[in-house]
Amino acid sequence: MPSRTKLDKSDEMIAERRQGTGKMPSDMPKWMSSTITNIDKWSKQIGNVVCWITMPLMIAMVYEVLARKLFLAPTMWAYDMSRFLYGALFMLGAGYALSRGVHIRADFLYRNFKVRTQGLIDFWLYLLFYFPGLLFFFYMTTGFVLESIKRGERGMDTAWMPYMWPIKACLWFGILFLLIQGISEVLKSYYAAKKGKWPDA
């Protein structure tokens, strides 16, 4: 009978192949290993900072619930702050999530492929879809952010009417972080396609 750990792993719908030591193999070129290591460390530092967004998010929600239920004094800002902070947490943490391999993916076929095949698939998908798509979104988002700042754009769906450029700027930075982490991921994929093993496994 298979172990419970094996059953749990087969049921997961997330890719977590890269949860090892993080040490680069000795047969990897120096420039490649240093690039991967530095980008992954940088993404981890970003993740360590971004995770603190949960604190003001929780404080805002607790305050709103207490004010609404105990004092019958709901705030005008809690709804906007909750979606802005949650959105910022999601977008700014996307690069770190990618570095840890925990983005949701239906990999019921992929996980059974040989490592070389996985690396080859990832490598070409990064080059053909990931980078072109993100570069397009980065270009478009740059225009959205600048226009939002220039116009002093405000949200029109609540009475508080907050400025919109801060959350749009979070989207811009989130895409930038994903592009930077993508460089590390495409190098890992290239190595896996060539050597038949993931570099940090």
Those residues with Cβ within 8 angstroms of residue 119's Cβ, 6 or more apart along the chain or in another chain: 188, 189, 190, 191, 192, 193, 194, 196, 198
Tokens of 150: 């220039």
Going from the first residue of the chain to its last (201 residues), give the mean pLDDT of each consecutive group of 10, the final group possibly shorter: 45 48 83 95 96 95 93 90 94 94 81 92 96 98 96 90 95 97 96 91 54
Question: CA nearest 193: which of 115, 130, 124?
Answer: 115
Return the closest-CA partner of residue 110 out of 27, 2, 4, 10: 10
The pLDDT of residue 20: 53
